[in-house]
């Protein structure tokens, strides 16, 4: 059994500027699963940098905070409980517009790979 807890996570700034902890990745754990799972944080006033995943689908699930999600030419207010589908090759970024951290899960299928991500 593999159990990961956010309190034990190591966070670092990643390519898109978010503070991120990879919770589960099949290559790291040797798991047979078709996705990777990470936890991301943006502090008040921060935004991720515009980027796209060339092959993978991504879903953000907002745990806490308020933001504006940008996907291609669309933008929408998002908050706790929202799940956001991001198709492959879509230009995406999210901004924290609240007074507290914007905290969200990132589910990527097929699992995230550095070569799949392109900063714009």
pLDDT score for 15: 94
Predicted confidence (pLDDT) at residue 79 exceeds the cutoff of 90: yes
- Determine the pLDDT at residue 98: 97
Type and span of the H or E element at 26:
helix 26-29
pTM of the full predicted structure? 0.94
State how far the Cα of 14 lies from the Cα of 86, in Å rounded to an integer. Answer: 18
CATH number at residue 35: 2.60.120.10
20-64 pLDDT per residue, tens: 999 999 988 788 899 999 999 999 999 999 999 999 999 999 999
Distance (Å, whole) CA 25 – CA 33: 8
Confidence grade of residue 73 (pLDDT, cut at 50, 70, 90): very high
Total number of domains in the chain: 1
Q: Which domain range does residue 63 map to?
A: 9-97+104-119
Is residue 1 domain-resident? no
Instruction: Indicate whether 2 belongs to any domain.
Output: no
Average pLDDT over residues 91-112: 98
Helix (H, G, I), strand (E, B) or coil at 105: strand
């Amino acid at each position: 059994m593999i159990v990961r807890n956010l309190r034990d996570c190591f966070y670092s700034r990643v390519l898109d500027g978010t503070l991120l902890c990879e919770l589960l990745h099949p290559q790291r754990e040797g798991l047979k699963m078709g996705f990777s799972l990470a936890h991301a944080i943006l502090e008040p006033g921060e935004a991720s940098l515009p980027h796209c995943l060339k092959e993978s689908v991504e879903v953000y699930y907002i745990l806490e905070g308020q933001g504006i999600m940008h996907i291609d030419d669309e933008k929408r207010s998002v908050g706790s409980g929202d799940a956001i589908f991001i198709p492959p090759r879509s230009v995406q970024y999210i901004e924290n517009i609240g007074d507290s951290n914007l905290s969200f899960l990132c589910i990527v299928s097929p699992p995230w790979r550095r070569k799949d991500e392109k900063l714009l």
